[in-house]
Structure 1
Amino acid sequence: MKPTLGRIVHYRGKQGRLAMRPAIVTGTVDSVTPEGIACGDVPALDSDEHVHLWVFTPGASGGFPEFNVPLGEPREHQPGQEIPPGSWCWPPRVP
């Protein structure tokens, strides 16, 4: 499934406790303009599976941006099938 603006995803932190957090997609290859990249307003994306995110946190700041985040694939050798640090995935389906 292709990421689109406004979709909720899960993001695994790349620092600290590597916690999973909810995030919203704020930029995709279809929404980031060459003009915005050229003037430095927004970073480029490496592929159509990379996205810009707003990551929600329970702290006072409420969240933080992450840029050019790759889609993560679960690692079979880790407990809970976690995705690699600094990546996003779709939320699991609830039966």
Structure 2
Amino acid sequence: MERIPVTGDIVRYRGKQGLHAVRAAIVTADVTTLDPRGVEIGAVPALDDASHVHLWVFTPGQLGGFHEYNVSPGDSPGTWHWPAAAG
């Protein structure tokens, strides 16, 4: 069974722009922690399924990061994946 991400998990996010850099990210919402009232009033996007998450993506520099919403798993730009296991 594939592991489902939960709020607080550290994942890797592949950027959608430029060199598609891979960055560290933290899961800020999953299907069990997403507030349905926030979705209803349009304050936060819905998630398509249990493998999709909202992320805070960490970046170097003054801004420190950015939000990404309803991110699916994968290896293509704009997706998240688990970090490689420590060897």
Q: TM-score range by the shorter chain?
A: over 0.9
Find the partner of 2:85 among 77, 85, 93. 93
1:17 deviation in Å? 1.4
Matched residue of 1:36: which SS? helix
**Structure 2 residue aligned with 1:12:** 14
Match of 1:52 in 2: 54
TM-score of the pair, normalised by structure 2: 0.94
Aligned pairs, how many?
85
Which residue of 2 is the match for residue 69 of structure 1? 71
Q: Which deviates further from its counterpart, 31-40 or 20-29?
A: 31-40
Q: Deviations over 1:27-62 (max 9, x none)?
A: 101111221100111100001000000000012100
| SS at 1:64 equivalent | strand
Distance 1:63 1:33 in 2: 23
Q: TM-score, normalized by length of structure 1? A: 0.87
Structure 1 stretches of 4+ with a deviation exceeding 6 A read none
Unaligned stretches of 5+ in structure 2? none
Q: Tell me how large the CA RMSD over aligned residues is.
A: 0.7
Q: SS of the residue aligned with 1:35? A: helix
Which structure would you say has the larger Rg? 1
